[in-house]
Amino acid sequence: MLLTNKCAQHGLGMGFQKVASLLNKRTYSWVVTAAGLKLTTKTFNAAESRGKWGGSVPLWCSNRYVSSVLYPTSTKAAATAATGVISNYNRQQALTLTTKAATKRKMVAKLTEQERCEKLQPLLDAGWTLVEGRDAIYKEFQLKDFNQAFSLMTGVALLAEKINHHPEWFNCYNKVQVTLSTHDVNGLSSQDIRMANYLEAQVKLLN
């Protein structure tokens, strides 16, 4: 479960990263709920939390909503900062995170204009097209037969799971129609470039 990029966009990524890196402290006084941050008197000691949940600190995330995150009392400033950010943050947005993933996950952001020139243009030259009304790219691949089409899709599926980035696609016999966009940033990101380049490379190997 990872911090979504919407959080990073609103600066929550920083707040959470700061707080997340402190989540190994011993006592807590703030709780994040799906409705936002609230004060709590709960205290955990690291030994108990480690024993009880296995990880260093429990993060109660169900599906895509944080039901509670406990902040260290000694960092009320950080929690206040996070509170401040969360209070400005549309609470209806889904957010899921873990301490490890929150600190490690590389936040993807929408492609900049420069990146679009440098990284997107070569794909457009290779036959990808911009999707009308969306910040997304599309290409139809025609393979030799269904077997080739499906082996291409298998490779993409493995990559998708590895980088946690999934295509929108349709397959009919030897055709694979692919649309790429990053839902978390509502547009194109480096993840889409990476997946498109992977597709281009795989198709070259198959043909």
Ligand X SMILES: C[C@H](O)[C@H](O)[C@H]1CNC2=NC(N)=NC(=O)C2=N1
Site residues for ligand X per CB under 6 A: 2, 164-166, 182-184
Residue sitting closest to ligand X (CB): 184
Tokens 């108990």 identify what position?
Answer: 48
- DSSP class per residue in 113-176: HHHIIIIIHHHHHTT-EEPTTSS-EEEEEE-SSHHHHHHHHHHHHHHHHHHT---EEEEETTEE
Nearer to ligand X, 2 or 102 (CB): 2
**Cβ proximity to ligand X, 154 vs 164, nearer residue:** 164
Q: Which is nearer to ligand X, 18 or 166 (CB)?
A: 166
CA distance 81 to 37: 11
Residue with tokens 């709780």: 31
Q: How far is the CB of 122 from ligand X (least distance, A)?
A: 20
Nearest-approach distance from CB 186 to ligand X, in angstroms: 9
Rama region for 80: left / alpha / beta (φ>0; ψ in -120 to 50; rest): alpha
Q: Which is nearer to ligand X, 32 or 137 (CB)?
A: 137
Residue 145 C-beta: closest distance to ligand X, Å: 27
Shortest separation between residue 184's beta carbon and ligand X, angstroms: 3
